[in-house]
Structure 1
Amino acid sequence: MANERTFLAWVRTGIALMTFGFVVVKFSMFIRQLGLELGEDPAVHKGYSSIIGIIIVITGAAACLYAFIQYRYNTKKIKTLNFKYSTAFTTLLAILIILMSVTLIIYLFHTAK
C-alpha cells in the first residue's frame, strides 16, 4: 500500500508542476496580448517565461513518467522480497525545482524593473 501512496504522491507532484508551467506560459501570452491591445511594442514583453513554463511542464511530465517506472520496479522488488530504497530521483527533482524557482525569482526581479 505504501508503494501505491508514494506513486500517487509523485503523480500529484507531476500534475501540480505541469499545471504551474501551463499557467506560467498562458500568463505570459496574456501579458503579451494585453500589451498589444494597449498599443505597446511586442518586443517590450519578449521574455523567457514561455520557455520557463515549458521546462516546468516537461519536468512535471518526467516526474509522472518516473513515478510509474519506479512504481513498477518497486512492485517487482517487493514481490521478490528484495526491496532497496533509493533517493536519487527525489534529490534530482528537488534540485530541479529549486533551480527553476531561483530562475523564476531572478526573472521576476529582472522584468519588474
Structure 2
Amino acid sequence: MPDLSKHDQPVKIRNRRVHMANERTFLAWIRTSIAIMAFGFVVERFALFIKQMSYVLGKSNIDIALPPSHGYSAIAGIFLVGLGTIMSLLAFIRYKKVESQIDADTYQPSSILNIVLSISVLVVGIFLIIYLIQSIQ
C-alpha cells in the first residue's frame, strides 16, 4: 500500500487543524459580541427599572432619594447592542477572508477587529467613568 505524503492530500484536508482554529476564533468573536449585546440590553433595561421604581416610589409615602436620570443609560445600551451586532458581522467577514487565505496559502494577519473592539471598550469605559462621576455630584 503506497504511503501518501502530506502534499498528495487535498488542501482542505491538509489544513484541517488550521481551519478548525479559524472556526474557534470566529466562535470566540461571536461569544464576545453576544456578551456585549447582552450587557447593552441589561444596561438599557436597568434604566427602565430605575424609571419604574422612581414612579412607584413617587406615588408612595416612602422618602427615598433617587439620583436624577439623564437618559444616558438607554443610549449606552443601544450603542452596546449595535456594537455587538457590528462585531458579529465583522467577525464573519474576517472568518471567510481567513478561510480563503488558508486555502490559497496566502494568510496575512489583520488586527482591524481587535482595534475596533479595543477602541469601543475604551470609549464605553470613558463614557461610564464620566457618567459615574456626574452621578456622584
Once the two structures are aligned, what percentage of the paired residues are identical? 44
Q: TM-score if structure 1 supplies the norm length?
A: 0.91
Among 94, 115, 132, the residue aligned to 1:91: 115
Cα offset, 1:94, TM superposition: 0.6
In proportion to residue count, which structure has more helix? 1
8 Å contact 2:101–2:107 — kept in the other structure?
A: yes
1:35·1:45 contact (CA, 8 Å) conserved in 2? no
Tell me the number of residue pairs that the alignment of Structure 1 and Structure 2 aligns.
110
Amino acid at match of 1:20: F
Letter paired with 1:27:
F
Shift of 1:47: 2.2
Query: Would you say 1:52 and 2:71 are equivalent positions?
Result: no
Residue 90 of structure 2 is aligned to residue 66 of structure 1 = yes
Letter aligned with residue 21 of structure 2 = A
Q: 1:24 aligns with which of 24, 43, 48?
A: 43
Cα distance in 2 for partners of 1:98, 1:104 equals 10
RMSD, aligned CA: 1.3
CA drift at 1:109: 2.0
